[in-house]
Amino acid sequence: MSFLEQLSRAVADDDGLEHEGDEHEMSFLDHLEELRWRVVKAALGLLVAIIVCTVFSDWLVNVVVLRPSQTTTPPLNLINTVPYGQITFYMMTVVVAALIITSPWILYQVWKFIQPGLLPKERRYISGIVFFTTFCFLAGVAFAYFLMLPYMLQFFATFGTTGIQNLISVSEYISFVIQLVLLSGLIFELPMISYFLARLGILTPAFMRHYRRHSIIVILFIAAVVTPTTDPFTMSIFSIPMLLLYEVSILVAVIAQRRRTAAKAPID
Give the range among 139-148, 195-204, 227-236 with minimum mean pLDDT: 227-236
Does the pLDDT of residue 20 top 50, yes or no? no
Distance CA 245, CA 227 (A): 18
User: Do residues 183 and 214 share a domain?
Assistant: no
Q: What is the pLDDT of residue 87?
A: 94
Contact 210, 154 (CB under 8 A): no
Does the pLDDT of residue 59 top 90, yes or no? yes
Q: What is the CA radius of gyration of the chain?
A: 22
Q: What is the pLDDT of residue 86?
A: 93
User: Do residues 92 and 133 share a domain?
Assistant: yes
Q: Is residue 19 part of a domain?
A: no
Q: Is residue 17 part of a domain?
A: no
Using the 3D structure, point to which of 137, 172, 188 is the last residue of a domain: 188
Tally the domains of the chain: 2
Q: Is residue 16 part of a domain?
A: no
Q: What is the pLDDT of residue 249?
A: 93
Q: What is the mean pLDDT of residues 143-172?
A: 86
Contact 245, 188 (CB under 8 A): yes
Does the pLDDT of residue 268 top 70, yes or no? no
Segments forming the whole domain that contains residue 268: 189-268
Does the pLDDT of residue 44 top 50, yes or no? yes
Q: What is the mean pLDDT of residues 53-81?
A: 94
Distance CA 223, CA 215 (A): 12
Q: What is the pLDDT of residue 111?
A: 84
Distance CA 146, CA 66 (A): 13
H-helix segments, the chain? 3-12, 28-55, 57-59, 67-70, 85-101, 103-114, 120-123, 126-143, 149-158, 170-187, 190-199, 205-210, 212-226, 232-264
Phi–psi pair at 37, nearest 5 degrees: -70, -35
Q: What is the pLDDT of residue 121?
A: 67
Using the 3D structure, point to which of 188, 216, 232 is the last residue of a domain: 188
Does the pLDDT of residue 267 top 60, yes or no? no
Contact 160, 149 (CB under 8 A): no
State pLDDT tens for residues 236-264. 878 888 899 999 999 999 988 888 787 77
Distance CA 152, CA 158 (A): 10
